[in-house]
Homo-oligomer: A and B are copies of this chain.
Amino acid sequence: MGASRTDIYTEEINEIADMAKVFAHPARVAILQYISTQESCICNDIVDEIGLAQATISQHLKVINDAGLLKGDFQGKSICYCLNIDRFQKFQTLLNSFFNKTKSNCC
């Protein structure tokens, strides 16, 4: 007990939950929003911008990255993070598909 069960749900349902988890922490929402506003896809500035420790930001970036939402390119010593638009679009499409199906069925 304590751990979420995933074996009793369909793959689609687990996928939606996993997607939502990325956005289920304000730091990650803020990071995504901030990255999108930066012309040159800054990296360590995220730490200054958001106000959490560097280790914490790195941890959140890992979660976002593991979900496939980032492209990271080295630029000098720093890493230039950028949104993976295709993946981001896929998230939006799948979530909308779930929303539309669910609300159209409703009693």
A interface list, Cβ under 8 A from B? 4-6, 8-10, 13-14, 16-17, 20-30, 32-33, 35-41, 50-52, 82-83, 85, 88-89, 91-92, 95-96, 98-99, 101-107
Q: How far, in Å, is A56 (CB) from chain B's closest CB?
A: 9
Query: Are A17 and B8 in contact, CB atoms less than 8 angstroms apart?
Result: no
Main secondary structure of the interface of A (DSSP, over half): helix
* Additional pairs, 19, CB under 8 Å, beyond known A37-B105, A88-B102: A5-B52, A6-B26, A8-B52, A9-B27, A16-B29, A17-B25, A20-B20, A33-B102, A36-B103, A39-B107, A40-B107, A82-B106, A82-B107, A83-B103, A83-B106, A85-B106, A88-B103, A89-B103, A91-B99
